[in-house]
């Protein structure tokens, strides 16, 4: 761990209230500090304290944004082979939390300062069902006869270290993807006629990478960062605009039967935990 790498805090449910400015768990009163951990320590902390609990989440904290003091110190009792743990002295200012991910999607990787910079600037949310880092940037005031917006736009981020991907899903309307910044990423497309296609989005047109690509309605689509890149910033626009009821995530086991050539991709990107619908009312 370096002073510029993220530290992590495990919690359950809504224990951290993001409507508040600070987070002060009981340990701050009883021990004088807030327990945190490094990427390699998260698993041991989870297994020791949280394994029997549901809804465990991991908060990604940018140490450069902390108002309290961060120290590496020996734990009060041994935990695994780790000699030192990060302790936050003072209340945790919630704006130092730049991402929150479900534990079952946590990648157990260091999050470098370059990625923290992006998270701190865009302040992404996690998309329901998929868990993709995203931010809505435009929703048209003008509506169609069924009260759906005539258009919408969003930006998103794929990242290995934060396990931000898109599971296979399909939409009722065409969607246009845009490459904005960072490393190339793959879009995997499965067509109703049985054809599979991989589109590489990125800045290198000489290598066949695309800056913009339209995905027709009804095509199964999924995406992830290519190779060993750090992150990719992308955008999606739709007209008619995106609403939660135009989205359907795949049953990845069934999808593998229809498209066996992408079975490994289905397994890797099946992050939706068998959920296929957005929560009622989402983005409507």
For the whole model, what pTM was predicted? 0.94
**Burial class of 92 by CB neighbour count within 10 A (0 to 12, 13 to 18, 19+):** buried
Residues 106 and 141 in one domain: no
Q: What is the Cα–Cα distance from 44 to 51, expressed in whole angstroms? A: 10
Asked whether residue 182 is domain-assigned, the answer is yes
The enclosing domain of 140 has a CATH number of 2.60.120.10
Positive or negative torsion for Cα 61, 181, 174, 197: negative
Asked whether residue 124 is domain-assigned, the answer is no
Residues 91 and 148 in one domain: no
186: which strand partners? 200, 224
133: which strand partners? 126, 157
SS3 annotation, 23-52 = ECCHHHHHCCCEECECHHHHHHHHHHHHCC
pLDDT (0 to 100) of residue 2:
53
Residues 87 and 165 in one domain: no
Q: What is the Cα–Cα distance from 183 to 23, expressed in whole angstroms? A: 34
Q: pLDDT per position in the chain (284 positions), as tens?
A: 556 789 999 999 888 888 889 999 999 999 999 999 999 999 999 999 999 999 999 999 999 999 999 999 998 888 888 999 999 999 999 999 999 999 999 999 999 999 999 999 999 999 999 999 999 999 999 999 888 999 999 999 999 999 999 999 999 999 999 999 999 999 999 999 999 999 999 999 999 999 999 999 999 999 999 999 999 999 999 999 999 999 999 999 999 999 999 999 999 999 999 999 999 999 98
**Burial class of 249 by CB neighbour count within 10 A (0 to 12, 13 to 18, 19+):** buried
Residues 146 and 39 in one domain: no
pLDDT (0 to 100) of residue 3:
66
Asked whether residue 64 is domain-assigned, the answer is yes
Residues 165 and 79 in one domain: no
Distance of CA 91 to CAs 33, 63, 101, 176, 267, Å? 8, 13, 21, 43, 40
Other C-beta atoms closer than 10 Å to the C-beta of 167 total 26
Domain that holds residue 174: 133-269
Q: Residue 212: name the closest of 241, 187, 242 by CA.
A: 187
Please report the DSSP string for 154-216 in residue order.
EEEEEETTTTB-EEEEEESS-EEEEEEEES-EEEEEE-TTS-EEEEEESS-GGGT-BSEEEE-
């Amino acid at each position: 761990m370096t002073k510029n790498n993220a530290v992590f805090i495990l919690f359950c449910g809504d224990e951290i209230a993001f409507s508040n400015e600070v987070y002060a768990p009981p340990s701050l009163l009883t021990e004088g500090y807030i327990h945190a951990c490094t990427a390699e320590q998260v698993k041991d902390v989870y297994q020791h304290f949280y394994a029997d609990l549901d809804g465990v989440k991991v908060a990604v904290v940018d140490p450069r944004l902390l108002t309290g003091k961060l120290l590496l110190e020996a734990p009060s009792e041994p935990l695994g082979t780790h000699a030192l743990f990060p302790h936050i002295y003072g209340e945790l200012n919630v704006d130092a939390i730049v991402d929150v991910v479900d534990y079952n999607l946590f990648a157990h990787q260091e999050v470098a300062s370059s990625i923290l910079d992006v998270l701190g600037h865009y302040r992404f949310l996690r998309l329901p069902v998929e868990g993709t880092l995203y931010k809505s940037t435009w929703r048209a005031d003008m509506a169609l006869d069924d009260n759906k917006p005539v258009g919408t736009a969003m930006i998103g981020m794929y990242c290995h270290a934060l396990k931000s991907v898109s599971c296979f899903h399909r939409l009722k309307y065409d969607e246009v993807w845009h490459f904005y910044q960072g490393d190339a990423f793959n879009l995997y497309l499965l067509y109703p006629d049985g054809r599979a296609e991989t589109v590489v989005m990125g800045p290198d047109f000489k290598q066949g990478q695309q800056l913009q690509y339209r995905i027709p309605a009804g095509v199964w689509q999924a995406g992830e960062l290519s190779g060993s890149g750090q992150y990719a910033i992308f955008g999606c626009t739709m007209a008619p605009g995106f609403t939660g009821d135009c989205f359907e995530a795949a049953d990845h086991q069934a999808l593998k039967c229809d498209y066996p050539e992408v079975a490994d991709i289905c397994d890797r990107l099946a992050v939706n935990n068998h959920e296929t619908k957005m929560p009622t009312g989402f983005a409507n």
